Amino acid sequence: MTPLEIIALINALLQAVGPIEDAIAKYKAILDSPGLEMTEAEIAAYEALKASDHAKPYWQED
Amino acid sequence: MKKLLPILSIFLLCAWGPCATVQPGHDALLVNSERAAVAAHTTFDTLFNLERLNEAYLIAHAPAVHKAVNALRSRPGVKGIAETAEDNTWAAIRVYAEFKSPQNTSELDKAMAALKELLAQASSYMAQMPKKGL
């Protein structure tokens, strides 16, 4: 998948419905990184966020 | 909402490499893989959230989209396709970070390719959402 295809996907999602400010804000610091490898502390913080997401009902099949 | 489009686009573009800069002394494959994995998670999280918010409509008007997205999800006690792909990618990233051998490089490349393929599959269904009137 090319970056443009990913952008098209996300734009399609955003045009669909619903606020996703939280999803963007949560990972802004990582995605906006200045090109450094993640530190152990950053990885631990990210893993906690990811695990929290995975536990949300919408990650579960209905 | 519209203000989010360029912001998110920039995040994802950078996350997948073309405009990503890597600081001297840092491994480009590792940095870009970490960014891409985070971008993939953000994409899955958004995808699942939006699909669930519109589930009733999609079941009625785009059942294939609902079925495809649901197939990526987890079940109680069983990790789904998306979560498993994320785990595999991060495992490969961590192994590569510890020891940058040709084999670990190859394994990381494979994990990233699998993750991208999964996102491509998801996009083929999700792209139908706006056409369905959402």
Q: pLDDT digits over A11-44, tens only?
A: 665 555 444 565 666 666 666 667 788 888 888 8
pLDDT of residue B40: 87
Question: Is A10 an interface residue toward B (CB < 8 Å)?
Answer: yes
Nearest CB among B30, B74, B122 relative to A61 is that of: B74
pLDDT score of A2 more than 70: no
pLDDT of residue A37: 87
The answer to whether the Cβ–Cβ distance between B48 and A58 falls below 8 Å is yes
Cα–Cα distance measured from residue B100 to residue B104, given in angstroms and rounded to the nearest whole number: 6
The answer to whether the Cβ–Cβ distance between B12 and A36 falls below 8 Å is no
Report, as an integer, the average pLDDT of B80-98: 95
Find out whether B41 and A47 touch, Cβ atoms under 8 Å: no
Q: What angle do CA A49, A55, A60 make, to 5 degrees?
A: 135
Query: Which DSSP state fits B17?
Result: S
Tell me the C-alpha to C-alpha distance, in Å, between residue A1 and each of A27, B8, B90.
21, 16, 19
Question: What is this model's ipTM?
Answer: 0.80
Could you tell me the pLDDT band of residue B16, with boundaries at 50, 70 and 90? Answer: low
The answer to whether the Cβ–Cβ distance between B26 and A36 falls below 8 Å is yes
Instruction: For A56, list phi and psi in degrees, rounded to 5.
Output: -70, 150
Nearest chain A Cα to B97, which residue? A37
Residues B26-73 pLDDT 10s: 889 999 899 888 888 888 888 888 888 888 888 888 888 888 889 999
CA B70 to centroid of chain Cα atoms: 15
- Measured in angstroms, the CA of B107 and the nearest CA of chain A are apart by 19
Question: Is A36 an interface residue toward B (CB < 8 Å)?
Answer: yes
Could you tell me the pLDDT band of residue B107, with boundaries at 50, 70 and 90? Answer: very high
- Measured in angstroms, the CA of A29 and the nearest CA of chain B are apart by 10
Q: Which residue type, as a one-letter code, is found at position A32?
A: D
**Which residues on chain B are in Cβ contact (under 8 Å) with A53?**
41, 45
